[in-house]
Chains A and B, each alone.
Chain A
Amino acid sequence: MSMFWSVTLNLLEGFGMTLTLFALTLLFAIPLGLLIAFGSMSKLGKTFYRKTSGSEGKEKKPFAVYPIAALCKFFVWVIRGTPLMLQLIVIFYGPGLLGYDLLPRFTAVLIAFSINYACYFSEIFRGGIESIPKGQYEAGQVLGMTRVQTFFHVVLLQVVKRIIPPMGNEIITLVKDTSLARVISVYEIIWNAQAYIKREGLLWPLLYTAVFYLLFSGFLSLLFGYIEKKLDYFKS
């Protein structure tokens, strides 16, 4: 077997891990992101009135406290504000520092990626949901539809249409971010390629990985273009 084929097969195996991580991350991050999005839009809470002395004498100034929304926003701030690599290390090595058993490497990576991407997704979802005019919900209400019916039958597809471009961006970024998994020795494609440098002093397998990434992100671009086109029949 030629060297080229043996490298190709080896990289393909690594890319299998890349794709598995990619697909499972999406599977968990999308619903979790939706949950965080709803959480950060939650109006559950209490309005307090603070007495202040304004121009017209004593005034009561309202300020609202939404604990669920605040918690979600804090969480999103921490996750978006720290490097994914750091989160990976915390989730993998953290339990050990506290005297617990380590998680399996792949599980740790999957948890870190899912949480990280869920936070980015949640902001995209929130933006999408909040951009739908209030009139759509009101129209559903006056037609006797429940809020859940209005969300799923009226609002959701409009949100999907609006978030396809930013989601496309984020999802293509995820394909490449999976290569971070190597920092805790998950054997994905870049890890496999780097092994050739260490073992045999070969650089080209590392450059060769770009072809795999390009082919897959090209496929994703086409897929998103297709979905966008499919939803072109209506304007909102």
Chain B
Amino acid sequence: MSILEVKDLYKSFGKTQVLRGISFSMEQGEVLSIIGSSGSGKTTLLRCLTSLERADSGSITVNGKTVFDPAAGVKLTREEARENQLQFGMVFQQFNLFPQYSVLDNVTLARRLHAKELPDYASRKKQIIEEIETDAMYLLDRVGLAQKAKNYPCQLSGGQQQRVAIARALAMKPAILCFDEPTSALDPELTGEVLAVIRSLASQHTTMIIVTHEMNFARDVSDTVLFMDGGIVAVKGAPDYVFGEGATPRMRTFIGKMG
């Protein structure tokens, strides 16, 4: 069973059709990169998957459960919507760390808030918080920032902030981790450290969808590459195929421009 199945997704903003029938599926442990020029709908697709936008029509099925299908009358309860929200982790282009919290607190905040709903929270408070912090420190160590746990986001470089954002997303144990152009807001010399973290996640078979402009990176790290053009999936397949024989003329032009 696929972990994610998207069928015929449509989305317009006003008169502009951004997604015009997107369908694809992905398996557990798969790394899927989405490439395409600006305005091709990559980010909108990701935002529809992560519930930051609501698509107009089509269906989204996560782990066998249909979470979006207005035509079939699928409507999630608040609890189900939140459960589905947490299936997807999201790393933003602009990091979106919480500036007033330390690095550690950025990673633990949401889990600490969720923990308050546990029935045994009052009696096990100390132990629960400890567990959450231990997990967070482990994740910060994985992104190489354990020694910055007490720092604030404004004291970190862009690359470090993005690595904290990755740890923060991982802390929720998402089934699928999504990246929206994770290196586009970074200075060129800082992209490497972020890509290295994503690469190490890929080697551990973390299921990921990565919207990116880093062509070489997409090529190395992905199991599947999806080239979007004008709101549709123009080419999809293994990197060698997509960048090789599968490439449409428009995609060749696009890759040429990206260098």
Contact = CB atoms under 8 A, between A and B. Distances in A.
A186 B172 CA distance: 58
Interface in B145-176: 152-154, 168-169, 172
Interface in A123-146: 133, 135-136, 138-145
Interface stretch (B23-31, B33-41, B85-93, B195-203): B85-93
A142 B88 contact: yes
Contacts of A184: none
A142 B52 contact: yes
Indicate the size class of the contact surface on chain A: 20 to 34
Interface string A158-194: 1001000000000000000000000000000000000
Interface in B50-94: 50-52, 82, 85-86, 88-90, 92, 94
A236 B98 CA distance: 9
A158 B50 CA distance: 25
A236 B153 CA distance: 10
Given A133-B94, A236-B100, A141 B154 contact: no
B113 A234 contact: no
A198 interface: no
B110 interface: yes
Contact of B94 (A135, A153, A154, A161): A135
Indicate the size class of the contact surface on chain B: 20 to 34
A62 B14 CA distance: 9
A233 interface: yes
Contact of A234 (B50, B88, B154, B172): B154
B192 interface: no
A79 B219 CA distance: 62
Contact of A142 (B90, B98, B100, B113): B90
Interface in B124-162: 152-154
Given A142-B52, A144-B82, A234-B152, A149 B113 contact: yes
Interface of A: 62, 133, 135-136, 138-145, 149, 153-154, 157-158, 161, 233-236
**A-B complex: 8 closest residue pairs judged by Cβ atoms:** A143-B110, A135-B96, A139-B96, A142-B90, A235-B154, A236-B99, A234-B99, A234-B100
27 contacts: A62-B14, A135-B92, A138-B96, A139-B90, A139-B92, A139-B96, A140-B110, A141-B85, A142-B51, A142-B85, A142-B88, A142-B169, A143-B110, A143-B168, A143-B169, A144-B86, A145-B109, A145-B110, A153-B109, A153-B113, A154-B98, A157-B100, A158-B99, A233-B100, A234-B154, A235-B99, A236-B100
